[in-house]
Amino acid sequence: MNEKLYVGNLSYSTTEEDLRQLFAQAGTVTLCELIKDRDTNRSKGFAFVTMSTQVEAENAIRLFNAYSLGDRSLTVNVAKPREARPSFGGSGGRNRR
């Protein structure tokens, strides 16, 4: 099992510090990444939290999947590896002549 967890269905007002404090109840949080829109810098409603061990990650899933935070029921599970995206050659999708 991976120690990196996906945390979804977050309120837009949830901060990285909120998540760090919550997940610290399950063990040592080594990394907390709240995903934000690059244009508006507003939360996209999900994050990745990395725990220091598999046991702590399993404990966090058990404790916080369906946990109510900010009137929202969290989704917590093992993060899936990022899929490779196709490269468009750097031309921004425009035809060069």
Domain boundaries, the chain: 4-78
Give the per-residue pLDDT at 85: 75
Mean pLDDT by runs of 10 across the 97 residues of the chain is 90 96 98 96 97 97 97 96 74 55
Global pTM value: 0.83
Give the per-residue pLDDT at 90: 59
Dig out the tokens for 45 from the structure: 């409603």
Give the per-residue pLDDT at 48: 98
Give the per-residue pLDDT at 91: 56
Give the per-residue pLDDT at 95: 57
Fold of 4-78: Alpha-Beta Plaits (3.30.70)
Contacts with 2 (C-beta within 8 Å, 6 or more apart), sequence order: 54, 57, 78, 79
Q: Rounded to an integer, what distance in angstroms lies between the CA atom of residue 24 and that of residue 94?
A: 47
Q: Rounded to an integer, what distance in angstroms lies between the CA atom of residue 61 and that of residue 78?
A: 8
34 Cα distance to chain centroid:
6
